[in-house]
Amino acid sequence: MYTRKIAYVVIGLLFVLCGSGLSFADYYGSVTDAIGDNDPRNRAGGAYDFASGTARVTGGNLIFSTTFAPGTFSSENWRAAYIYVSIDLDRDPSTGNPGINADHTDSAILGTDYFVAWGGSSVFPGYGLYVYRAAEGDWLAVDTNLSTTYSVSADDPSVGIATVTIPLSDFGGASVGAFNFEFQVKRVVSSNAITTILDYMPNPGSFGTTAPVPDPSKSAMEKYKADFKKEMKAFDKKIAKLGKKVKEQGSNAGTEAKESWNDLEAKQANAKSKLKSLSKEAWDKTKTEADVAREDLRKAYDKSVSYFK
């Protein structure tokens, strides 16, 4: 029986759920652990020491990516990896397979509705996405032809990364959003055998969970609108102050000065109109128009100020 140790992990799960004609929220979750305390016997065979990971749903796919501590996961030992994530899709430990393994570890806090296993072995047939069938008390293979890749970090070639891509259609229409999860890693021994769990993340007794996060595109739009509104309020005050000088000069102002003031008022009205017209559905077009209107207003103000000092 293996003595399990825990590796340091920082897992970021980002989910962008996209469907035909539908708009979904993003989800994010993270877990941590301590580097270097994976199973000692695991180290002799090539380590497998988790470091970080991500998961996201985008373009109709669910993508898991796990990163390992430097020097513990390479193109050679990737070939024998069996990386496994338990997914409690409904966050209800009373449904799905109790716990995260055959010993029902964490059965009180997590029920595995699906699990995904991936690695680089060309002989082991147990990779893929599986769903638990409560009535039968067994697992059904949903997709055993998943796309998997091995790569290294651009910042440190000694950091290995394993990625798996799962089509959302594999979940049979089930909602993939806020859920609980735990990761493990094993080693393929032969075409019909794998080791027990060599590393967990996070510690048994806890789990990661995803939660909604702001839509980045919406956040960018709201920030732009807020900055635009702030700039317009500032211009309203400056133009109002400049207007007093215009009135003081009255008929003494030259033709070009009067024209510059009229142009400034027109540019001010146009900028306000473009601010109101900003639309997420036509963001690129309306933002470009707003950028032009803002720059025109700045130039018009600077020109008018030069006449009414």
The CATH number of the domain where 78 resides is what? 2.60.40
User: Higher confidence at residue 42 or residue 96?
Assistant: 96
Specify whether 178 is located in the same domain as 272.
no
pLDDT band at 96 (very low <50, low <70, confident <90, very high): very high
* Domain end (from 188, 213, 238): 213
Specify whether 61 is located in the same domain as 181.
yes
Q: Taking CA 240 as the corner, what is the angle to CA 237 and CA 241, rounded to the nearest 5 degrees?
A: 85
User: Higher confidence at residue 218 or residue 60?
Assistant: 60
pLDDT band at 17 (very low <50, low <70, confident <90, very high): very low
Specify whether 180 is located in the same domain as 240.
no
- Model pLDDT for residues 210-245, shown as the tens digit of each residue: 887 655 566 778 888 999 999 999 999 999 998 888
CA quadruple 227, 228, 233, 236: dihedral sign: positive
- Model pLDDT for residues 182-200, shown as the tens digit of each residue: 989 988 888 888 888 888 8
Position 21 pLDDT exceeds 60: no
Position 43 pLDDT exceeds 60: no
Position 130 pLDDT exceeds 90: yes
Specify whether 10 is located in the same domain as 150.
yes
What distance in Å separates the CA atoms of residue 89 and residue 86, rounded to the nearest whole number? Answer: 9
Specify whether 224 is located in the same domain as 164.
no
Average pLDDT over residues 124-141: 90
Specify whether 71 is located in the same domain as 130.
yes
- Model pLDDT for residues 240-290, shown as the tens digit of each residue: 998 888 888 877 778 888 898 999 999 999 999 999 988 776 777 788 889
**Count of structural domains within the chain:** 2
Position 153 pLDDT exceeds 50: yes
The CATH number of the domain holding residue 264 is 1.20.1270
* Domain end (from 165, 180, 213): 213
What distance in Å separates the CA atoms of residue 240 and residue 246, rounded to the nearest whole number? Answer: 10
Mean pLDDT of the chain: 81
Please give the residue range of the domain that contains residue 303. Answer: 217-307
Predicted confidence at residue 146, as pLDDT, reads 92
Q: Burial code of 287-305, b = ≥16 C-beta within 10 A, e = fewer?
A: bebbeebbebbeebbebbe
Specify whether 244 is located in the same domain as 138.
no
What distance in Å separates the CA atoms of residue 165 and residue 59, rounded to the nearest whole number? Answer: 11
